[in-house]
Amino acid sequence: MLDTLRYLKRETDVWLEITTLLIPGENDSIAEIDAMTRWIARELGPDVPLHFSAFHPDYRMTDHPPTPKATLDRARAQAIANDLHHVYIGNCRDPHRQTTFCDLCGAALIARDNYDMTAYALDASGACLECRRPLAGRFAAEPGHWGRRRKPVDIAAFA
């Protein structure tokens, strides 16, 4: 998997974001999170967004508790300490830690509350409206409106 992430970042022009489901007792130790976030910063760069997602027991994995909010906050703090610029938590309610901020002036650029976008402060080129610093990523001229609905995906269409 690490070789694939490295390949995508270095050899393609796709936009890369990483989501990690933190499962209590499986992959949520500070040592593992520290090693992972150091690797991401070194091999992929500080602007690759990292999403820490809360685990909720379901289906065949009901023997683990839900991920505590404190674990998500600790993981996010560690990633930021390791120089990652865009670190988010998800699968729990925390609008502040789901918001993208300008790393120059601190303005809220894309505010989210769960699946709802509550603010969008980027110009058509993807730069901060306050200080004009470009935000790493790919952005449409106007924000999308996805909301909480789920869309079915036809996997066969991509084959």
pLDDT at site 153: 67
Asked if residue 103 belongs to a domain, the reply is yes
Task: Return the SS3 of 45.
Answer: coil
Which pLDDT band, with edges at 50, 70 and 90, does 49 fall under?
very high
| Averaged pLDDT of the chain | 90
- Please report whether residue 152 resides in a domain: no
Residue 37's nearest CA partner among 24, 22, 25 is: 22
Number of helices (H), then strands (E), belonging to the chain: the values are 3, 6
| Residue 154 in domain | no
Number of domains the chain contains: 2
Residue 51 shares a structural domain with residue 126: no
Domain with 73 in it? 1-94
Q: Do 52 and 37 share a structural domain? A: yes
Mean pLDDT score, 142-157: 68
Between residues 65 and 139, the one the model is more confident about? 65
User: CA-CA distance, 78 to 134, in Å (whole number)?
Assistant: 25
